[in-house]
């Protein structure tokens, strides 16, 4: 008897639609990577193969400074956001339902629902007042802004991991007289680790490529790599921007590969 179970792949035009979607997603990226190896100054006319733009980007002190600044901000933002998100996820899942729980969930995910430009303007006004009173203009504002914005991105995979975890092991640990801290350290945390890693890596990537909030919050001389690239696009568009973008793409792919290997090892 023929199998009549429903499958999306059997719908007419599914393969064609899937191919169009993949082309729309990846063809622009492949074009960017292709022209990063262009020997000429054009980003649209191929003039031969060359690694010159990668060498120029590597030797560009402004690119190095912006890259280092971006990595410092992204690392600290990911650590802070993941720590806060983990505590928030534990506080909203490892207890009985309570009044106001939905409101708390909405507040945690507020940056996902409010337009980023609104958050950026609010942070600009808020930090401007602090700068007036303290005189401090360092990277702390960017780290704080990125951390706050990245919390919901870290929270969602951590909460999803907690909701999918079996409580029997935690219950067994409590029955064996383990303290709440011992249960968390030896049972909950190891099981939760893939979700924490996913949240941290997502927060890192979101912080690394943020433009809007960074443009509004940063002080003079605090360009991150995305804002540096935006400034260069306003002046002169060269394949150096393609080379820098390809480097960011390679870093993202490496992070995704590392996450896949780590989570596969955890689930083994």
What is the structure's pLDDT at 213? 93
User: What tens digit of pLDDT does each residue of 42-70 get?
Assistant: 777 888 888 898 998 888 888 899 999 99
Helix (H) or strand (E) holding 73: helix 61-93
Residues of the chain with confidence (pLDDT) below 70:
1-4, 97, 259, 262-268
Residues 6+ apart with CB under 8 A from 212: 116, 117, 120
pTM: predicted TM-score of the whole model, two decimal places: 0.83
Please answer whether residues 149 and 110 qualify as being in contact, where contact means their C-beta atoms are separated by less than 8 angstroms.
no
Give ∠ CA 169-200-73 in degrees, rounded to 5.
150
Q: Class of the 60-235 domain?
A: mainly alpha
What is the structure's pLDDT at 120? 92
User: What tens digit of pLDDT does each residue of 223-266 get?
Assistant: 998 898 888 877 777 788 888 888 888 888 887 777 677 656 55
Rounded Cα distance between 213 and 115, Å, is 11
């Amino acid at each position: 008897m023929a199998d009549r179970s429903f499958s999306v792949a059997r719908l007419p035009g599914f393969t064609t639609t899937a191919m169009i979607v993949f082309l729309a997603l990846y063809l622009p990226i492949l074009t960017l990577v292709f022209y990063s190896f262009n020997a000429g100054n054009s980003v649209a006319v191929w003039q031969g193969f060359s690694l010159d733009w990668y060498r120029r980007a590597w030797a560009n002190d402004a690119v190095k400074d912006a890259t280092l600044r971006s990595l410092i901000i992204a690392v600290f933002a990911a650590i802070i956001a993941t720590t806060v998100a983990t505590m928030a996820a534990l506080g909203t899942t490892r207890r009985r339902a309570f009044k106001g729980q939905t409101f708390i969930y909405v507040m945690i995910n507020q940056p996902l629902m409010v337009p980023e430009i609104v958050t950026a303007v609010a942070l600009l006004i808020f930090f401007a007042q602090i700068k007036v009173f303290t005189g401090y203009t360092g990277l702390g504002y960017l780290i704080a802004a990125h951390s706050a914005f990245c919390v919901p991105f870290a929270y969602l995979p951590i909460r999803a991991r907690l909701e999918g975890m079996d409580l029997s092991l935690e219950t067994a640990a409590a029955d064996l007289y383990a303290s709440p801290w011992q249960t968390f350290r030896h049972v909950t945390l190891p099981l939760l680790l893939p979700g924490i890693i996913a949240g941290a890596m997502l927060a890192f990537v979101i912080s690394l490529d943020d433009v809007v909030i960074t443009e509004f919050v940063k002080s003079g001389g605090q360009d991150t790599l995305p804002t540096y690239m935006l400034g260069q696009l306003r002046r002169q568009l060269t394949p150096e921007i393609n080379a820098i973008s390809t480097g960011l793409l390679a870093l993202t792919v490496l992070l995704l590969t590392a996450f896949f290997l780590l989570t596969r090892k955890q689930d083994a």
